[in-house]
C-alpha cells in the first residue's frame, strides 16, 4: 500500500524544520567559526569540485600564511600556486589572487558588502557571491549548487534537466523564496544558517546515491520519496564520453639537477612548472623513441622508463609515461625554455599533482638510474 502524501505545508514550517535540523546536526567546520567574508570566500572557492575532508587542511594552512585579503593580494603568484598545489583546477586560485589584488587596489583592501559588487570580482559567480553575502553578512540572497539542486528536485519531484534554462530559473526562484522566508522568521543568523543548511542537507543526507531518507528532516514532504523514485532525481543529462589522453614525459637530469619549464599563464594549469612532455596516441608503444626523436642529437643518452602516472581531469583519463635520461657534456639548455633545478628547488616550485608524482619518483630512484 502506497504512503499517503502529507498535506502541502506552509514554506515557513519547512524552513523552520530545516533550521532546527541544522542546529542539531551541522558539522563543525573551521570556516563556520567565523563571519570573515575573506575566510568564507576562500573556503567556497576551495570547495568547488573538492570534498570537505580534502579542503580542511588546505584551508587551515592557507589562512595561516594568508590570514587576510591584503596578505594574499601582496603574495607572489608562485607562492600562491604552491600553497594551492594538490587542490587542482588552478584557474580558481589565479582568479582568487586577481580578485584580492582588485580589492586591494579598488576597495582599500575591504571586502564589499554589496552583492552586485561581489559578483563582479574575477572567478565569482552567482552561487559564490550568494554564499559569501548570506553567510558573512546575513543577506537574504539565494544560492544554488549541485547539492541544493538535488534536494529541491527530489522534494518536488521536478522532472527535467536542471541545466535547462527554465527549470534552472525555477530552482533559483525556489532558493530565493526559502532564504527570504528564513529572513522573515526573525531567527538569529537565519539567512546564513538556511543557506548552509541547504548545502549540509544535500551533502550529508540527501546524497546522490543511497540517500539517508530515514534521517531527512523533510522526508514526510518529499515527493520523490513518496513516489519511491528518490534516486531518479534530478534528471541529469548523460555525462560526456570519457576520453583517453596519453603523454610521454622527459625527466632530464644533469649533475643532480633536472630540467623543468613553466606553463604559459593562459594555458591549463597556467603558471605551474612541469617536465617537458609530448602528447602521443593512447596505447602507442615507443614513448622513449618519440622523446629521442624530439630531442634529436642533443647530449642525451640512455632513456629509461621511470614511472607511469594515471589521473583524471574532467572527462579525460590521462596517462603520463615518464622516461629518464642523463645530459652528458657541458651544461646546456633545452628547447622551449626552462631551468635546471636541484631537488630542494624542485620541491619549492608549484607543480600539478601528476608531475609532482613524477618528481618524487625521480628522487626515489635517481641514485640507481645512472650508477657509476
The rounded distance, in Å, linking the Cα atoms of 163 and 234 is 10
Domain limits, CATH 3.90.79.10, in the chain: 243-369
What is the structure's pLDDT at 277? 94
What is the structure's pLDDT at 368? 55
What is the structure's pLDDT at 331? 64
Q: Given 3, 44, 116, 345, which residue is catalytic?
A: 44
What is the structure's pLDDT at 5? 44
Task: Please choose, from the candidates 44, 55, 251, 234, the residue with its C-alpha nearest in 3D space to the C-alpha of residue 156.
Answer: 234
Average pLDDT of every residue of the chain:
92
Which residues make beta-bridge pairs with 344?
none
Cβ pair 130, 191 in contact under 8 A: no
Domain limits, CATH 1.10.340.30, in the chain: 11-232
Q: What distance, in Å, lies between the first and last C-alpha atoms of the chain?
A: 80
Sites in the chain below the pLDDT cut of 70: 1-9, 297, 329-332, 366-372
Among the CATH numbers 1.10.340.30, 3.40.50.300, 1.20.1260.10, 3.20.20.150, which is that of 11-232? 1.10.340.30
Active site residue 44: yes
The rounded distance, in Å, linking the Cα atoms of 344 and 129 is 39
The rounded distance, in Å, linking the Cα atoms of 203 and 216 is 12
CATH of domain 243-369: 3.90.79.10
Q: Scan for cell 642533443, then name that residue.
A: 298
Amino acid at each position: 500500500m502506497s504512503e499517503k502524501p502529507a498535506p502541502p505545508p506552509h514554506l515557513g514550517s519547512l524552513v523552520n524544520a530545516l533550521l532546527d535540523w541544522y542546529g542539531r546536526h551541522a558539522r563543525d567546520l573551521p570556516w563556520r567559526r567565523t563571519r570573515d567574508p575573506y575566510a568564507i570566500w576562500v573556503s567556497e572557492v576551495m570547495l568547488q569540485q573538492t570534498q570537505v575532508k580534502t579542503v580542511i587542511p588546505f584551508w587551515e594552512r592557507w589562512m595561516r600564511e594568508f590570514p587576510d585579503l591584503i596578505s594574499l593580494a601582496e603574495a607572489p603568484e608562485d607562492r600562491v600556486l604552491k600553497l594551492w598545489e594538490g587542490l587542482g583546477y588552478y584557474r580558481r586560485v589565479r582568479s582568487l589572487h586577481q580578485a584580492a589584488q582588485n580589492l586591494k587596489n579598488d576597495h582599500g583592501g575591504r571586502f564589499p558588502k554589496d552583492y552586485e559588487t561581489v559578483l563582479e570580482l574575477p572567478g565569482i559567480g552567482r552561487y559564490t557571491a550568494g554564499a559569501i553575502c548570506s553567510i558573512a553578512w546575513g543577506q537574504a540572497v539565494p544560492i544554488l549548487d549541485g547539492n541544493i539542486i538535488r534536494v529541491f528536485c527530489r522534494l518536488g519531484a521536478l522532472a527535467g534537466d536542471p541545466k535547462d534554462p527554465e527549470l534552472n530559473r525555477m530552482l533559483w526562484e525556489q532558493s530565493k523564496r526559502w532564504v527570504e522566508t528564513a529572513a522573515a522568521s526573525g531567527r538569529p543568523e537565519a539567512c546564513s544558517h538556511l543557506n548552509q543548511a541547504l548545502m549540509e542537507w544535500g551533502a550529508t543526507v540527501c546524497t546522490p546515491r543511497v540517500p539517508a531518507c530515514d534521517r531527512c528532516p523533510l522526508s514526510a514532504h518529499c515527493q520523490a520519496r513518496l513516489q519511491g523514485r528518490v534516486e531518479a532525481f534530478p534528471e541529469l543529462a548523460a555525462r560526456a564520453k570519457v576520453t583517453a589522453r596519453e603523454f610521454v614525459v622527459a625527466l632530464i637530469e644533469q649533475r643532480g639537477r633536472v630540467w623543468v619549464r613553466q606553463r604559459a599563464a593562459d594555458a591549463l594549469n597556467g603558471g605551474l612548472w612541469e617536465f617537458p612532455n609530448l602528447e602521443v596516441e593512447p596505447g602507442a608503444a615507443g614513448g622513449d623513441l618519440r622523446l629521442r626523436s624530439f630531442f634529436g642529437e642533443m647530449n642525451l643518452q640512455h632513456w629509461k622508463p621511470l614511472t607511469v602516472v594515471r589521473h583524471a581531469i574532467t572527462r579525460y583519463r590521462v596517462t603520463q609515461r615518464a622516461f629518464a635520461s642523463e645530459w652528458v657534456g657541458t651544461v646546456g639548455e633545452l628547447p622551449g625554455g626552462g631551468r635546471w633545478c636541484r631537488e630542494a628547488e624542485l620541491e619549492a616550485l608549484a607543480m600539478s599533482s601528476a608531475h609532482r608524482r613524477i618528481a618524487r619518483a625521480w628522487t626515489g630512484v635517481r641514485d640507481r638510474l645512472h650508477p657509476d
